[in-house]
């Protein structure tokens, strides 16, 4: 198993993984990402995020999409893991843990103060996995989001 950073040639594969993850999370109907949006935001002038792939026997087995955020309390950047997905045929082989370990190493290398992510409440198997590796749930926080018409309204559009 090896982990490699995605390149622009991987855009169709990135979109495929995003859609597979969304389908697993029962959210496929919400995916509006396109190859051109991914190209602009992952490989364009102002890169907004990065992607790594885990390969098993030269076959793409999993991926992680992440970006930097900033902790005012720590005074340091962090890595926010937006998506982590391992194909069903490759699960229970340690690939998810290796992707997380890769990101943890990258966070240390980039002098980040933390690595964080969200998980859906119903995804007990994944939550158990995260607890097993030492992740701590931030139960005292509530996530808020403004999107679509609410975002337009707030922006005064």
Residue numbers annotated as active site: 130
Neighbour-count burial of 59, counting CB atoms closer than 10 A to its CB (0-12 exposed, 13-18 middle, 19+ buried): exposed
What ranges make up the beta strands (E) of 8-140?
Answer: 50-56, 59-71, 76-86, 115-117
The SS3 of residue 37 is helix
Q: Which residues contact 110 (CB under 8 A, 6 or more apart)?
A: 68, 77, 79
Q: Which residue has the tokens 């991987």?
A: 10
Q: Kindly report the CA angle at 66 between 60 and 67, in degrees rounded to 5?
A: 150
């Amino acid at each position: 198993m090896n982990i490699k950073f995605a390149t622009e040639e991987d855009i169709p594969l990135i979109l495929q993984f995003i859609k597979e993850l969304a389908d697993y999370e029962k959210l496929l109907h919400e995916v509006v990402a396109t190859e051109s949006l991914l190209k602009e935001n992952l490989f364009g002038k102002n890169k907004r995020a990065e992607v790594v792939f885990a390969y098993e026997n030269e076959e793409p087995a999993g991926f992680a999409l992440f970006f930097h955020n900033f902790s005012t309390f720590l005074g340091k950047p962090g890595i926010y893991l937006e998506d982590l997905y391992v194909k069903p045929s490759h699960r229970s082989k340690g690939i998810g843990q290796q992707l997380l370990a890769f990101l943890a190493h990258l966070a240390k290398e980039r002098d980040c103060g933390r690595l964080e992510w969200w998980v859906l409440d119903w995804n007990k198997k994944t939550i158990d996995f995260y607890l097993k590796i030492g992740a701590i749930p931030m139960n005292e926080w509530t996530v808020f989001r403004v999107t679509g018409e609410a975002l337009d309204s707030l922006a005064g559009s």
